[in-house]
Structure 1
């Protein structure tokens, strides 16, 4: 092992040939030449040192127990030998950058992770790393001020999706910044529980349960994220004051955006397309939903694009108390499914939504129809109550009943009504970054 000081930085390792195993996930580090235990490197460094690892393999299961900056190169391979966590951060003021981390354990009860941050730590930066393993990619509990950016995290796609670890798992973590990460083949891309004031920006998710999963959080913001080929895009559960904007979901199975018991949040300028369940359990209502509102109130949902899905918005169990306006519902098989017994107005300050297929008149030329629109009628509600009659949906008798109902402009006693529908679609809000926007682009990285 070579150890020397250069411009105040400790360089520890060997001079080696160009790396031939940088992209391998099954490197036999234990039997490689010039193997070094990462713990030895850490133990020999002083507090606040910057340690530059060399392009070679290291044995993991190391604990950083002092303020330290650990920086690698493309071939700085940290192998945990299939057990425990590859790196455990047990000190505040630690940076871990540009490492390739492999082969940590799969025991989620023991918190096995590529990088595990212990309780009570703060001022942690984890950036530019490549992590491939079975358990959590990055996990932190009871910490604050953690930055996680520009990492590439891959789980084990051979596992059933709910048996995988999450890409990034933060519990009771405040003021987290999670930016520019690509995460695939995990359970949830980013899972946040009981924290506050996080920022999730410009991340890319695929082949997982949910892209972002909030649980009991508040004061968070998520923007410019892309989720493709997932079960669900962005799940907001039992949370409040979430600002979810300028995100994209494409090709999900169950939902694009879920509001479950979440209040006082803003959902705006998101683009959701192609939410179709390839294996629905009919007639139990497993259709793909651009947005699913379940028991959520006092939220503002505006300027979103909901398109080409089985259902535009599905609302049930007390979701009436939300403001829903200036959204675009484009070519969904059913624009709205509402399970409730009250009349719900989906407009705000005389601004409604755009509905493809709706033909109204705009005598004033202000872009708003003078004719109200009811996106789901009595016949739709009948099918929802008795789904076994769904095969009659396109029958001549059903078409006649629907036409007859439309000839009478009686105000419905229950359902969704838009009193100020827009007569033309506005330009969709585009994501503010240049990240790939399709599953093919993501999977080709």
Structure 2
């Protein structure tokens, strides 16, 4: 059984080369200020002290080179035509309750134990740039980029050559990448929302990564994780990445990965997995995607105890294949005569027509035609080629798909076309 979803299908792509995306290092221009300016107030605050800011706009570029806590209030803002805030060669810096607007919001280098809480960055070319730092904690960070194509923007948060970075409850929209991390260790990104960007969470050459309870909506790609080890991705929602060549998750050259309890819905391709070793995908829900799984050169991949519903194609893979076992499929038509919850016949996850349809989107108009039905029956009877699940689970409850307006419009259009076709036959 095929279910049409509101996706424009084009051949998916694979990222073959990964180039360091060097960002321009912000210029550290710091003007001299009097004691009544913010820089003067920072300079006059003793190391380890607390500076309380007023409900006003502070203009200029400001530098922090000592332990300090800076607390704003509603209406406290920092504005600059260059880099707004530089934290350099120091430790124990906390910034709370401020909004930032400028060419570059913040530059952090050679710093440790930096805390940002309730910081709002709005309408800036660049967000937060971090290098050679450790023990950074961002809580309730909000970044709102300018309108326009993501290729003309920079990342909301870019972290290089750093360790122990945590971001929780971030809200990021309209940027190039929500989080770009390179050469990092000990990354935790949780409870965050990233929308309308290129890659919501993009990382490479990073180890010991934890990504959980995030919502990634309407990006080119949700998770882009490459050349990394010890990865845990759980309880995330990756939704509506359905523009041309979009992916819900792209995993390349990874080691020791757990991907569980996630929801992937209405993506062009839910997961594109290449050259991974020791990866387990389980307890996830794949709904209304074009292709649920696209896998290359990953024979140690195990996909088990997931639920697949309303996807045009369950899987595509190369000759090396992967292990598919004990999943629930909405188009499985086998029976469970012994009542053990396992189907008595195998499930073919990839079929010839589905492969052709992904490569040639126009083939979708032949779904349900007599020739396609016969082809599917022949492949089901053969059950000797492609990826098969030898122990498909029988669904115990019926899943009701939550279609959005775009999918609803498609279904209504299909119904109208069907009604017109029936009427024409009767009149003919």
CA distance in 1, matches of 2:128, 2:58: 19
Cα deviation for residue 227 of structure 1 reads 1.1
Q: Could you tell me which of 269, 272, 291 is aligned with 1:289?
A: 269
- Counterpart of 1:366? 340
Unaligned 5+ runs, structure 1:
1-34, 106-112, 276-287, 429-437, 440-445
Cα deviation for residue 425 of structure 1 reads 5.8
1:142 paired with 2:135, answer no
- Counterpart of 1:24? none
Residues 132, 161 of structure 2: 8 Å contact kept: yes
Q: Deviations over 1:107-156 (max 9, x none)?
A: xxxxxx312111x2101001111111333322211111000111211111
Cα distance change of structure 1 residues 292 and 425 upon mapping to structure 2, 3 Å threshold: farther
Matches within 5 A, 1:96-111: 96-102=95-101, 104-105=102-103
Q: Deviations over 1:221-270 (max 9, x none)?
A: 01111111222111111111110000111211212121112221100000
Q: Could you tell me which of 113, 116, 123 is aligned with 1:126?
A: 116
Residues 298, 321 of structure 2: 8 Å contact kept: no
- Counterpart of 1:28? none
Residues 222, 243 of structure 1: 8 Å contact kept: yes
Instruction: Give 3-state SS (helix, strand or coil) of 1:173's partner.
Output: strand
Matches within 5 A, 1:310-325: 310-316=290-296, 318-325=297-304
Cα deviation for residue 363 of structure 1 reads 2.6
CA distance in 2, matches of 1:210, 1:243: 18
CA distance in 2, matches of 1:310, 1:388: 10
CA distance in 2, matches of 1:418, 1:187: 39
1:271 paired with 2:249, answer no
TM-score of the pair, normalised by structure 1: 0.77
Residues 246, 269 of structure 1: 8 Å contact kept: yes
Q: Could you tell me which of 228, 240, 246 is aligned with 1:251?
A: 240
**Larger RCO, structures 1/2 (Cα 8 Å, 6+ apart):** 2
Instruction: Give 3-state SS (helix, strand or coil) of 2:42's partner.
Output: helix
- Counterpart of 2:252? 260
CA distance in 1, matches of 2:382, 2:336: 17
Measured on the aligned residues, the alpha-carbon RMSD in Å equals 2.4
Cα deviation for residue 66 of structure 1 reads 1.1
CA distance in 2, matches of 1:416, 1:330: 17
Cα distance change of structure 1 residues 382 and 271 upon mapping to structure 2, 3 Å threshold: closer
- Counterpart of 2:324? 346
Residues 344, 417 of structure 1: 8 Å contact kept: no
CA distance in 2, matches of 1:204, 1:343: 34
Q: Could you tell me which of 65, 87, 90 is aligned with 1:89?
A: 87
Could you list the structure 1 runs, at least 4 aligned residues long, displaced by more than 6 angstroms after superposition.
none
Q: Could you tell me which of 296, 305, 314 is aligned with 2:285?
A: 305
Cα deviation for residue 89 of structure 1 reads 0.6
Instruction: Give 3-state SS (helix, strand or coil) of 1:329's partner.
Output: strand
Residues 354, 425 of structure 1: 8 Å contact kept: no
Unaligned 5+ runs, structure 2:
1-34, 406-428
Larger strand percent: 2
CA distance in 2, matches of 1:133, 1:425: 49
Residues 49, 69 of structure 1: 8 Å contact kept: yes
Cα distance change of structure 1 residues 206 and 343 upon mapping to structure 2, 3 Å threshold: closer
CA distance in 1, matches of 2:69, 2:398: 46
CA distance in 2, matches of 1:370, 1:143: 56
CA distance in 2, matches of 1:56, 1:301: 50
Q: Deviations over 1:310-355 (max 9, x none)?
A: 1111112x023201101111101112122x12454312xxxx1111
TM-score of the pair, normalised by structure 2: 0.79
- Counterpart of 2:21? none
Q: Could you tell me which of 356, 370, 383 is aligned with 1:396?
A: 370
